[in-house]
Amino acid sequence: MNLGRRRPTGLRGRLVITFVLVAVTASALVAGIGYQLVRRALLDRVETGAVVDVRDVLQRISLPIGTSDLLWPTDAVVTESDLNTLAESLGGPDRQVILRYGEQERLSTGTTFGLDDVPADLRKQASGRMVRQRMLIRDEPWLLIGTQVHRLTRTGAVRPTGMTIFVFVSLKEEDGVLARLRTALAQASGITLAIALTVALVSARSVLLPVRRLGDAARALGAGHLDTRLPVHGRDELAGLTATFNDTASALEQTVSELRALEAMSRRFVADVSHELRTPLTAMTAVTDMLTEEAEHLPPDAGKAVELVVREINRLRILVENLIEASRLDSGAAVLTRENVDVGVALADCLEIRGWTGRVRLDVPRGLSFSLDPRRFDVIVANLMGNALHHGAPPVTVTARILRSGLEVNVRDRGKGIPLHALPHVFERFYKVGAGRARSEGSGLGLAIAKANAELHGGTIRGELCDPGTRFTVWIPHP
C-alpha cells in the first residue's frame, strides 16, 4: 500500500477509497442504528422502572398531607420522622431524593443535590404533573423525576397536597454499559476497516494487474516492440480491452511493416538507380578531361556546348556519389573506423585538397587529437565549410575544442544567415533554402550526409543563427 507516493486520484487509490468508504459507511450505519436502539431500550427500561417505583411508593403513603378537605383528620400532623421515612423509602443506593412539603425540605441519606440542581422550568412543571428528564449533573448522567403528590378528596376530586418530590436516579451504570458497547462497536468498525482495506487492496491488485500489464505492453509497443501481445483471460471488460489491444497492435505491426517494406523498396530503388547511373557516368567522366582540352579547338558554340556537358557531368557525378553514400548510410552498411586523428591537420587537409586553403580561418589548438573516423569527419567538415563558403560570406572561421563530453567543431560564416523558418529543415534531403534558388552547386544531400555521418559517431550537428551569419556545431562524443 503506497497511497502516499501515488496520488489518491489514481485508479488504484480511487478503487481502495471507494471500497473502504462503502464498507466503513455501512458498518458505521449498522453500528450507529444498533447503538441507538440499544441505548433507547436501556434508558427506557430504567426510566420506566424508576417512574413505577416512585409512583408505587407515593401511592402507598398514608401521611396526613394536604388541606383539610382531604381524607385525613385535620388534627393529624405530619411529623418529621414521617417525612424522613418517606424520603428514605423513595431513596436507594443509586438514588437521591429531595422532598419538600411546605417550608420543610427533607433529603434522603447520602443526597448531595439540592433544589438548586433542579432546573427552574422543571420545578414549575413538576407542580402540575409528573416530569422526567435526563441530564448531566456534575458530569454524571442522572434521570430526574419530579412530581407533586396529589390526593383524592372525599368528593372524588384530585387535589395537590403541596408536597413535591424530586428523585435523582443515577444512570452511571447504564452509561458504563453504553460506553462498553461503544468501545466494542468502535473496535468492530476498526476491524471492518482493516478487512475492507485488505480486501480492497487485494481486489484492486487483481483488477489493476491486467491494467498494469496493458500499460507495460502499450509502453513496449510505443518503444517499437510491435510484436507485443497479451494473453486474454476470461470474458470481462479487461479481457475485451486486452483483445482490442492485441488487434490494434497487430494492425499497427502490419501497417508499419508494410510502410517499412515500401520504404525499403523505395530506398533500394534509389540505391539501384544510383548504381546503374554510375557505369555510364564512369565512362563519361573518363573522357571529360579530353573534351575540356579539345573544346578550345572547337567553334565557340560547340565549345560552349562541350563545357556545359562537362559541367553537368560533374554535377551528376557528385549527385550520384552523394546518393550512393546516402543509400549506404540508410541501409546501415556504413561502418565506422575510428582512429586517433590530429583534428587541426585533418581540417587543414580537408581545405587543401579542395583548394580552400586561405579562404577559411582555422582556430584549432596544436596537437588536438581525437578518436574519429577520418574519412567521415572529412565529409562532415567539407560539407559545412563548403556551405559556408558558397552560401555564406567571409570570413569563415572554424574552431575546434575538446569538451568533457567529446569533440566540438564550430563552422561560422558572416553571411546573411539561413532564414529562421528554414533552419530546422536544412538537414533534410534536397531541401533548398528559398524556393527561388532553383539550382545550387551542391547536390542537396550534403548536410543530410554530414548529419548521418555525425550520428554514426553517436554525435550531432546543429545550426543556429548568429548575427551576422550562421554557425554549425558538430559534436562527436568520446568512443
Query: Interface with other proteins by CB under 8 A: which residues?
Result: 271, 275, 278-290, 317, 320-321, 324-325, 327-328, 333, 335, 337-341, 345-346, 349-350, 352-353, 371, 374-375, 377-378
CA–CA separation, 131 and 167 (whole Å) = 11
CA–CA separation, 313 and 310 (whole Å) = 5
Q: Give whichever of 95 and 317 is closer to other proteins, judged by the CB atom.
A: 317
Which residues are bridge partners to 410 per DSSP?
399, 473
Q: Give whichever of 1 and 336 is closer to other proteins, judged by the CB atom.
A: 336
Q: How far is the CB of 402 from other proteins (least distance, A)?
A: 15
For residue 53 the three cell numbers come to 417505583
Q: How far is the CB of 414 from other proteins (least distance, A)?
A: 27
Q: How far is the CB of 440 from other proteins (least distance, A)?
A: 21
CA–CA separation, 86 and 166 (whole Å) = 12
Helices (runs of H) and strands (runs of E) counted in the chain: 9, 12
DSSP class of residue 297 equals: T
Q: Which residue has the cell 447520602?
A: 110
Q: Give whichever of 120 and 333 is closer to other proteins, judged by the CB atom.
A: 333
Q: Give whichever of 285 and 410 is closer to other proteins, judged by the CB atom.
A: 285
DSSP class of residue 438 equals: -
Q: Specify whether the CB–CB gap between 344 and 363 falls below 8 A.
A: no
Q: Give whichever of 140 and 294 is closer to other proteins, judged by the CB atom.
A: 294
Q: Specify whether the CB–CB gap between 150 and 158 falls below 8 A.
A: yes
Q: Give whichever of 30 and 334 is closer to other proteins, judged by the CB atom.
A: 334
Q: Coil, strand or helix: which one is 267?
A: helix
Q: Specify whether the CB–CB gap between 145 and 94 falls below 8 A.
A: no
Q: Give whichever of 339 and 467 is closer to other proteins, judged by the CB atom.
A: 339
CA–CA separation, 76 and 342 (whole Å) = 139
Nearest to 348 by CA among 330, 316, 374: 374
Q: Give whichever of 100 and 317 is closer to other proteins, judged by the CB atom.
A: 317
For residue 21 the three cell numbers come to 468508504
CA–CA separation, 100 and 115 (whole Å) = 9
DSSP class of residue 129 equals: S
Q: Coil, strand or helix: which one is 77?
A: coil
